[in-house]
Amino acid sequence: MGCAFGRRLLAAVRRAIKCLVELALHWLWGALEQVQDYFQKLAVFAIFVETMSKGNVTVETRDHVGLIGLNRVAKRNAIDLEMYHALALAYGELPRNPELRCGVLFAHGDHFTGGIDLAEWAALFRQGRFPDLAEGAIDPLGLDESNRLRKPVVMAVQGICLTIGIELLLATDIRVAAASARFAQIEIKRGIFPAGGATARLMQEIGWGNAMRYLLTGDEITAAEALRLGLVQEVVEPGKELARGRDCADGRLPGAARCASHAGFGAAGPDARRSRGAPPAAGRSDAAHVQRRCRGGIAIIHRTTCGEVQGSRARLLFGRQRGADQFFVVAGEDAAIRINRWNPRKLSFH
C-alpha cells in the first residue's frame, strides 16, 4: 500500500516538474523572441539613421504628418540606388509610428526629379528586377502587394518631374503641383521600359488614349494639362505647393477634409484597383445619378483620399481609396452621400 502511494507521489512530482520545465522553456522562448525583435528593430533604426545622415532623403515630423524630401539637388534629384533605399526606409517610418496619420512627399531644390540615375539602375534592369529592400522598408512605388504603404501620402511637385517621378506620383493619393511643373514619361526616348508601374496606372488615372499618347511619345505634360487629365488634383503658384500639400495633410483646407489613415483607406487590394477599369452600369450615368440624389448644389470635383468630410460647406466631391474610386458628395449643407463609382445603387449616408 505504501509502495503504491509512493509511486503515485513520484509520478505526480515528475509531472509537476515537467510542467514547470515546459512553462520555463515557453517563457524563455518568448523572451528570446522579444530580444530578437528588439535587435531587429534596432538594426532597422541604425540603417535608417545611417542612410538619412547621408542627406539624400530628409525626414521630418510635424504634428501628425511625416515630411519626406528628396535631397540630391546637385543632380536634379536623380534617384540612384542609395536614394531609392533611403526613400523606402523613410516610407517604412510611416506605419511604424502610430502618431503619423499621413505622409507628404516633396523635393528640395527647383525640380522634383530628373528621373533615375540610369547608370546605376541599368544592371538591375538587365536582370529584370528592382533592388532588394532592407527589413522595415516599404516599396515607394507600391509594386509589392505584400509590402504596400497603408497610410495616405500627399505629393507636392515643382519643376521637372520625369519617369520615376510620375510613377511615385501615381502611387500617392493626393497630388499638388506648382503651375510651372512639367511632367514626362520619357523612357520611350531612351529605348527602355517604364518599369515602375506607369504602363498600368497611367491608363487607370487618365484613360487609355491619353496614357498611350504620353507613354508612346514621351511628350511633356504641363501642370494645367495634368490638372485637366486628373493626374494632379490642384495647381498652385510656384513655391506654394509644399505648403498646400501640408495643409491638405493637416486638414487645414477651407471647407475641410482631413487625410485619415483609418482602416480601408490606403489599403485596397488588387480587386479594388482592378475595379477602376470596369465600365459603369449600362444605361446609368454616375454624375446624373449623383445630381438627382443631391438636394443642394454640387461643388467642385476634387480627387483625394480623405476619410471624413467636415463642415457644412465642405467642397469635396470625388475621392479615391487607393484604387477604388468613390464619390464623396456634399448636398448643400446636408449630409454627404458616398456612392461607389461602378455601382451607384449602393448608397451610404453620413
pLDDT, averaged in runs of 10, over the chain (350 residues): 70 80 81 67 48 74 95 96 96 95 97 96 91 94 91 97 98 97 96 92 95 96 97 97 94 56 42 40 34 32 35 36 38 38 34
- 229, amino acid identity: L
Inside any domain, residue 345? yes
Helix (H, G, I), strand (E, B) or coil at 207: coil
Same domain (yes/no): 202, 339: no
Question: Can you name the residues that pair with 103 across neighbouring β-strands?
Answer: 66, 153
Inside any domain, residue 114? yes
pLDDT of residue 157: 98
**Euclidean distance between CA atoms 324 and 345, whole angstroms:** 16
Inside any domain, residue 314? yes
Inside any domain, residue 14? no
Inside any domain, residue 221? yes
Inside any domain, residue 258? no
Same domain (yes/no): 248, 286: no
- The C-alpha cell of 233 is what? 488634383
Inside any domain, residue 261? no
**Euclidean distance between CA atoms 134 and 254, whole angstroms:** 40
Same domain (yes/no): 240, 175: yes
CB 328: neighbour CB atoms within 10 A? Answer: 22
Range of the domain at 94: 38-252
pLDDT of residue 105: 98
> What share of residues in the chain are helix, strand, coil (percent, to 5)?
40, 20, 40
The helix or strand, by DSSP H or E, that contains position 176, with its residue range, turns out to be strand 174-178
Q: Could you tell me the CA-to-CA distances from 287 to 60, 284, 301 in Å, in that order?
A: 40, 9, 11
Q: How far is CA 340 from the centre of its chain?
A: 21
Same domain (yes/no): 86, 185: yes
Among residues 196, 225, 252, the one where a domain terminates is 252
Same domain (yes/no): 277, 207: no
Same domain (yes/no): 165, 312: no
> Which residues belong to the active site?
167, 187
Among residues 183, 217, 252, the one where a domain terminates is 252
> Of 218, 220, 222, 242, which Cα lies nearest the Cα of 232?
222
pLDDT of residue 21: 80
Inside any domain, residue 84? yes
- The C-alpha cell of 262 is what? 483609418
**Quick check: 337 and 290 in contact, CB under 8 A?**
yes
Total domain count for the chain?
Answer: 2
Same domain (yes/no): 211, 311: no
Same domain (yes/no): 164, 297: no
Same domain (yes/no): 226, 293: no
pLDDT of residue 163: 97
Sheet holding 160-162, edge to edge: 160-162, 182-184, 221-222
Same domain (yes/no): 131, 176: yes
pLDDT of residue 5: 67
**Residues whose CB falls within 8 Å of the CB of residue 134, separated by 6 or more in sequence, listed in order:** 44, 47, 85, 88, 89
Same domain (yes/no): 127, 217: yes
pLDDT of residue 1: 58
Same domain (yes/no): 235, 280: no
- The C-alpha cell of 13 is what? 512530482
> Of 326, 333, 254, which Cα lies nearest the Cα of 290?
326
